[in-house]
Structures are given as C-alpha cells and as structure tokens.
Amino acid sequence: MDDLSPEQSASTSSPYPTPGALARAKPVAPSFVSVPADASICEVAPVPPRRVVRPTVVAPPPLPRASRVDTDSSRTADRPERRPKSRPKIVPVTRLLLVLGCFAGMMAVSFGQLVQALVTDATEVSELPEAILREQIIRHTVLFEGLDTLIVVAGLVIAGRPPARSAVLHRGLTWASAGPALLLLLGVNIGYHLFLRNLFKPYSDGDGDVQVVDLGLAHQWWWAILLVCVQPAVVEELMFRHLLLGHLRPHLGLHGAVWISGVVFGMAHLGNIVGWPVLMLLGAAFGYARACSGSLALPIALHFLHNFAVLGIEAYTSK
C-alpha cells in the first residue's frame, strides 16, 4: 500500500476515476452503466420537455335555414301535424248541373219580366206622362237585370271556372274577321225583322217603320247604353259563353257546345220569342268567337257593338 503513487492511491480511495486515469484509459465501446443505488451524486442528462400536439377541431358549416331541425323533441312531439285544408272537388257533371240551375234562375227572371209587362194596363200606361213612363221602364229594367247579374255571379262562385282551352284559330285572324262577321249578323237581324213586319203587328208602328227593339230608352242614351249594351254584353257572355259553353265542351265537343249554348241563349229572351231564330244564330256566332279567340274579350265586344247598332237603329226609326 505504501508503494502506490499518489495518483494510484487517489484512484483507489475515490470511486470516480481521476483526470489522469481518464487520459491514459483506452476508449471503449459505449455500454449501459448501472449506477449503484447508494450513490450520492448522479449526473443525468437533461430531458427536453415533451411537446404536446393538440388536434385541430374544425366546426361543421352551418346548415341552411330550410334544413334546420328543431332539437326540442318534446315540443315537436306535442305539436299536432297541420294538414292543408283541401276544397272538396266537384265533378264536371255537378258543375254543369249548377250552371243549368243558374240558367233556370235567369229564365224565371225573364218570365217575371214578361208577366209584369202583360199585366200592366196599356190604357193606364198611355195616359202617363212620358217622363214618368221612362222612369218606370228604367226602374223595372234595372231590377230585372240586377237579378240576372246576381244569378251569374252566384254561378261563377258555385260552379267555378271551366277547363281552360286554347284558341282554335290564330287570334289576329279571328279579330280581323270579326268586323265583317258582325256586319253580316246585323244584316241578317234587320232583314229578318223586315220580313216579319207584315206578319206580326208589334214589329211595326202606325207609320210602318221597323221597330227592332222597343224599350222606350231611345232618348235616354246613358241608361240605354248601360242597360241595353253594357250589362247584357258582360253578364250574358259570362253566363252563356264562359260558364255554359265552357262546362258543355268537355261533354259535347266544340260544335255541340257552341250550338247548344246558342239555342239556350236565344231561349233566355222570353220577351222576344219571335226573334229566337236570329238570337240563336247570334249566340252560336258569339260562341265560335269565344272558341276561336280563346278569350271573352271578342264576344263581349261583338255583343256590345251589335246591341249598340240596334239601339241606334231604334233611335233613327223613332224620329
């Protein structure tokens, strides 16, 4: 023990190698070195902190407003299901019967107007002043035509619109040919009444002049245009060319519906029974105008112009 050098004695006394021993030591391959459990000092290499990577959470895009669902299950469960109220459907035959019922109502009004004219004492009427007589005629005409208007409006509400139909011919061609057709119809109407002048006394006055219509309104132009031209053109076309023709066409076809509605149109004028043939022809012509043009504008215009021309003839012949 005494022969050891200071470096060797230091190496034996200390558990750790001295710097000189480390310099003289040969390099060895690295190996795992176990550290005694009772070592007081232990050099440990610092461990770098572990980086925690958190996943990125991407929020889903918001749903559109129409596809949002109520998450309150209790409220949706208690809410009753709402169903749209459906109007009861009416079969086409029932609609046609309703339209015929409206026509029966118009016939009843015409019959009442005819009875009122027959029960009126002609002698008492002739003794009335002209102004009072015209006032009575206007009052009675407004009453009966007002009833006809109410019946047609009720038919439009109850029976409903007929099936839509497109124009049979080109509308421009139909409107262009309407003028010559109206002149032809006026010629037939006047010629027919000229033919009947010597057969039926009510169609000729004391001077032998033709009386196409005799409503006593020839000099009351505003009332005459309203009661003879405007109201019949609108109300009668709505009844016979819109409701009746429209609901007859699915059952009888175009020509059958046109002629049946024309016959019914003529029969509705109970106050002019002898003029039924011309009135039926006019009704058929207005029906074809409705079918060819695809709208009510043309038959209403033809009806108005025809009655206006007849009114002008009455005013001219009553001078």
pLDDT in tens, 2-31: 555 555 554 455 555 666 665 565 555 555
Q: How confident is the model at residue 280 (pLDDT cuts 50, 70, 90)?
A: very high
pTM score: 0.66
Q: How confident is the model at residue 211 (pLDDT cuts 50, 70, 90)?
A: very low
Phi, psi of 126 (to 5 degrees): -65, -25
Residue ranges per structural domain of the chain: 92-317
Q: How confident is the model at residue 210 (pLDDT cuts 50, 70, 90)?
A: very low
